[in-house]
Amino acid sequence: MAELRRACSDHPELPQPVIIHLGTVEDGDRFLEEAWPEVQSIADADLDLRAALGVSRGRVGQLLGLASMAAGLRSMREGHKQTRPVGDPWMMPGAFLAQGDQALWAHEFRHAGDHPTTAALLAAVRSL
- Euclidean distance between CA atoms 64 and 112, whole angstroms: 8
- Return the pLDDT at 85: 87
- Return the pLDDT at 81: 85
| pLDDT greater than 90 at residue 55 | yes
- Return the pLDDT at 121: 96
Residues 5-24 have a mean pLDDT of 95
Closest CA to 98 of 56, 46, 49: 49
- Return the pLDDT at 68: 95
Assessment of whether the complete model's pTM goes beyond 0.95: no
Round the average pLDDT of the chain to a whole number and report it. Answer: 94
| pLDDT greater than 90 at residue 49 | yes
Burial of 44 (0-12, 13-18, 19+ CB in 10 A): buried
Yes or no: say if 14 and 121 are a contact pair by the CB < 8 Å rule.
yes
- Euclidean distance between CA atoms 75 and 112, whole angstroms: 12
Task: Report the DSSP beta bridge partners of residue 99.
Answer: 102
CB crowding 22-43: b at 16 or more within 10 Å, else e: bbeeebbeebbeeebeebebeb
Q: What percent of the chain has pLDDT over 90?
A: 89
- Return the pLDDT at 84: 84
Report CA dihedral (31, 93, 48, 123) to the nearest 10 degrees.
110
Yes or no: say if 1 and 35 are a contact pair by the CB < 8 Å rule.
yes
pLDDT in tens, 63-122: 999 999 999 999 999 998 888 889 999 999 999 999 888 999 999 999 999 999 999 999
Position 15 confidence tier, pLDDT thresholds 50, 70, 90: very high
Beta carbons within 8 Å of 90's beta carbon, 6+ residues apart: 57, 58, 63
- Return the pLDDT at 50: 94
